[in-house]
Amino acid sequence: MRLETSELILQDHIEEVGMPQQTIENASIIYNLPFNDLIFRAQTVHRANFDPNAIQMSRLLSIKTGGCPEDCGYCSQSAHYPTGLKASKLMEVERVLAEARKAKEAGATRYCMGAAWRSPKDRDMDQVVAMVHGVKALGMETCMTLGMLTPAQSASLADAGLDYYNHNVDTSERFYSEIIGTRSFADRLETLSNVRDAGIKVCAGGILGMGETVEDRISMLVTLANLPVPPESVPINMLIPIPGSKLANAEPVDPIDFVRTIALARILMPMSHVRLSAGRTEMSDEMQALCFFAGANSIFVGDTLLTADNPGEDHDGALFRRLGLRPMELEPAR
Ligand code: SAM
Ligand code: DTB
Ligand code: SF4
């Protein structure tokens, strides 16, 4: 009975005020539904908002690798941990564009450029802006993830025409300080607000498998869903354990819990692209199929993410054929 009441409350809210403020209590009830009911509900929401067989394809490039001053416990690029990664400086614009051309030829519609920075230095902004101009000129969507941004830096990127900015909240507010000590959850929300205010679309999600509880995962999704405007893109990463990092020996996530989290993201953020992000090399095809069925509709393509492995074109091509999936086309610019 409790479930039905809560569903009715949710439904009433949707009818009255558009998307409701989500509560952890309500989200937990949804998360804990019998699996078949949860997935049916997620798939129903998915079909009401998207073509269920089209998957958005993004490609990542690390434009500045390693030597990062932040201490994120999961990351290969943090200078705080002996991960053995070779650091390199900011890439030349032409090299980035050559890689973006290859990604476009391989079917990616969005090009995501990541830098291992706490935040960009003003002296780097011209080069980064030139990358945005160049990738846009290829007819691809652009995304960057450069760490914390000020309102002024957000405005420069918006003026350059940047489509998306990725900045993950990564976990719940409660658990955040267990994973990262050099910045706070509130710092993350501030950058998200600066990016949104500048008119850039938001990509924000997190990582599962860092030792957080199910409640932490639910709380993270509720935080994202309750942003003044929910993120257009929600990457859900499965931790890739990096030898030498603080989380090298973290317990793997239960795959069913992972799928439940994807389904909850779909239900709480019906119009967002939910991206099945890092960690796909360790997922079976069947687990990925369940994630798509639960409402994931975006992936990173290509054989590397930023520094870690990704399944690559051959494997993903075969998976798409087996599942009858196809790449989502880019919406014409308005
Ligand atoms: N330095 C920028 C920042 O932290 O915002 C951008 C790059 S950072 C690598 C982007 C995101 O990748 C992180 O927020 C985290 O969610 C994800 N990530 C990093 N390392 C990961 C790992 N080993 N496994 C899964 N996800 C990871
Ligand atoms: C996101 O949520 N996942 C991507 C992207 N945003 C920048 C990064 C995944 C990184 C995986 C580890 C690596 O390649 O170093
Ligand atoms: Fe630096 Fe980003 Fe890695 Fe944190 S996640 S250590 S900020 S590159």
Query: Any residues with CB less than 8 A from the CB of 10 and at least 6 apart, and which?
Result: 20, 26
Q: What DSSP state is assigned to residue 227?
A: S
The pLDDT score that the predictor gives to residue 330 is: 84
Residue 276: pLDDT above 80? yes
Ligand 2 atom closest to the Cα of residue 168 is 2
207 lines ligand 1 (CB under 6 A): yes
Q: Do the beta carbons of residue 171 and residue 208 sit within 8 Å? A: no
Question: pLDDT per residue over 18-37, tens digit each?
Answer: 567 899 999 999 999 999 99
CA 204, CA 129: separation in Å to the nearest integer? 21
With the most atoms of ligand 3 within 8 angstroms of its CB, the residue from 62, 72, 277 to mutate is 72
Pair 47, 183: CB distance under 8 Å: no
Structure tokens at 255: 């795959």
C-alpha of residue 218 to centroid of ligand 3, in Å: 23
Q: Which helix (H) or strand (E) is 221 found in, with range?
A: helix 214-225
pTM higher than 0.85? yes
Q: How far is CA 224 from CA 163, 169, 234, 265, 282, in A?
A: 19, 8, 8, 9, 26
| SS3 state of residue 54 | strand
Q: What integer pLDDT is reported at residue 19 of this predicted model?
A: 64
pLDDT of residue 216: 98
Interval 116-160: pLDDT, tens = 999 999 999 999 999 999 999 999 999 999 999 999 999 999 999
Share of the chain above pLDDT 70, in %: 93
Nearest 5°: the CA angle 166, 170, 173 is 125
Q: What are 18's two structure tokens?
A: 């558009």
Residue 331 binned pLDDT confidence (cut-offs 50, 70, 90): confident
- Mutation probe of ligand 2 site: the residue of 83, 237, 272 with most atoms within 8 A of C-beta: 237
114 Cα–ligand 2 center, Å = 8
Cβ–Cβ under 8 Å, residues 96 and 128: no
User: Per-residue pLDDT tens for 176-210?
Assistant: 999 999 999 999 999 999 999 999 999 999 999 99
Q: Are strands 273-276 and 326-327 parallel, antiparallel or unpaired?
A: unpaired
Catalytic positions: 68, 72, 75, 112, 143, 203, 275
Between β-strands 201-203 and 54-64, what pairing exists: parallel, antiparallel or unpaired? unpaired
Between the CA of 297 and the centroid of ligand 2 the distance, in Å, is 17
Say if ligand 1 is within 6 A of residue 239 CB.
yes
How would residue 49 be classed by pLDDT, with cut points 50, 70 and 90? very high
333 pLDDT higher than 70 = no
Q: Percentage of the chain surpassing pLDDT 90?
A: 92
- In short, whether 166's Cβ falls inside 6 Å of ligand 2 is yes
